[in-house]
Amino acid sequence: MVAPIIQKHWGTGLSIQQATHVVIPAFTRYLSTCLTASPIWPGPLSTTCMHIQRGSLTYTALVSTEVAPLEILELLESVSMLLHEYTGQVATELTIKENFVCVYQLLSEMVDSGRVVTTDTSVLRGLVPMSSLMGRVIENVSGFSTNTLASSTTSHDAPWRARGIRHTTNEFFVDIVDRIDAIVDSSGTCVMYDVMGDISCKSRLSGMPHLVMTLGRARELDDVVFHPCVVRRAWDTDRTIGFVPPDGLFKLASYHVAPQTLRSMPLRVLGEARCTENGMTVHVTVEPGETGSRRVENIRVRVPLDSRAYNIGVQCKSGTHIVTTSRHPQVEWTLDSIHATDSLVRLVIQYSLRSAPQTDSTDAAFVTFEVPGYSVSSIKVDALRLLRESYKLFKGVRYSTVAGSFQVRF
């Protein structure tokens, strides 16, 4: 049994002993036997286990009452992001153990009696001082003590931002990421093509600034969810985003883009699986799509194989591949990058089966990639204006497109 690094319990529906000795071991066994684990798993003792995987850590919530799953998954995502900010790096077992008290305090402030109170980074930074290591780094760079910042009072009009914030340089960075969810059939036709996106920001501005952001093609966005700092009236009136930003990292907005307004797919992937006399042959081809001359990077194609597969052979002239021959055999093909002018590349997998092959032995491949500097939704920051402060604002905007749930069926 793998013991949790840290636990926090609320409510009386499930005891600590039941969670530690019954539910968590059962959930750990489930994860070890699944190649692609569902984020929501019905566990023993009438519990539901919800989890996300970030880096080397699994963030898990055990729920024994009726609750909205997305609320819990969003909480777990917020915990992961907070740990990244507080420790200054992607959280690992070592960083959590080194900052155990800080992490435990964060969990206590985020949830009270089993209900989410706040996940806002700026509010939590005022309640829980950063770890000593990060505190020293911030003090050396900014010249201000983190304890002083944590204890400073907040504005009644902007509770997410403390008063008296000062920075030696006044910077504001915007990171717009489009995530493609798609299902491609064996003929190369997209039977499902959807794009969700996030507008994340990093603010290092002094005083109490008011920013106005204007987006190109803003009217193409729907299902927009804003940070509490955004003045919703301005968005509803003229599709501008007016806000007093929290200090540090925060997610300004999440959005969905209507499929009919999207560009073509930045990467074209086709798959074909054929039964042979004693096994299967799988062909996967990858070629660049519409990327505006940008490179498609960090391409990974994962092909799960039939559990009866053996004698697995792989042919590919580009990239590298890893063959897994455990209980869940698979082939993972990795390409560093593909340029718009490159020709298609091919992967061929041949394997034998311990019994008669079936037509659905290998039925899909799962693809991940990223395109730095490219926006498949064409959402751009046209302008970012600073109001109520007189200093010069240094600003930067970065765009990228990544694969979310991208499946190619054979």
The rounded average pLDDT for each run of 10 residues, N- to C-terminus, in the chain (410 residues) is: 79 82 89 82 90 90 88 89 79 86 87 82 74 48 44 60 89 96 89 92 94 92 91 91 91 88 87 86 92 92 89 92 87 93 90 69 87 93 94 95 92
- pLDDT, residue 410, reads 86
* DSSP labels, 335-356: EEEE-TTPPPEEEEEEEEESS-
- Pairing type for strands 47-54 and 57-63 reads antiparallel
- Pairing type for strands 248-257 and 190-204 reads antiparallel
Helices (H) and strands (E) in the chain, counts: 9, 22
Q: Do 395 and 214 form a contact (C-beta atoms < 8 A)? A: no
Place of tokens 């024994």: 64
Q: Do 138 and 125 form a contact (C-beta atoms < 8 A)? A: no
pTM of structure: 0.75
Q: Do 288 and 337 form a contact (C-beta atoms < 8 A)? A: no
Q: How far apart are the first and last CA of the chain?
A: 38
CB-based contacts of 235: which residues, under 8 Å, 6+ apart? Answer: 224, 226, 241, 242
- pLDDT, residue 365, reads 93
Q: What are phi and psi of 25, to 5 degrees?
A: -60, -40
CB-based contacts of 156: which residues, under 8 Å, 6+ apart? Answer: none
Ranges of beta strands (E only) in 219-324 are 221-226, 230-231, 240-243, 248-257, 267-275, 279-288, 296-304, 309-316, 320-324
Determine which helix (DSSP H) or strand (DSSP E) holds 196, and give its type and residue range. strand 190-204
Residue 323 CA, distance from chain mean position: 26
- pLDDT, residue 277, reads 79
Q: Do 206 and 162 form a contact (C-beta atoms < 8 A)? A: no
- pLDDT, residue 11, reads 74
Give per-residue burial for 64-88: e unless 16+ CB within 10 Å, then b.
beeeeeeebbebbebbbbbbbbbbe
- pLDDT, residue 67, reads 86
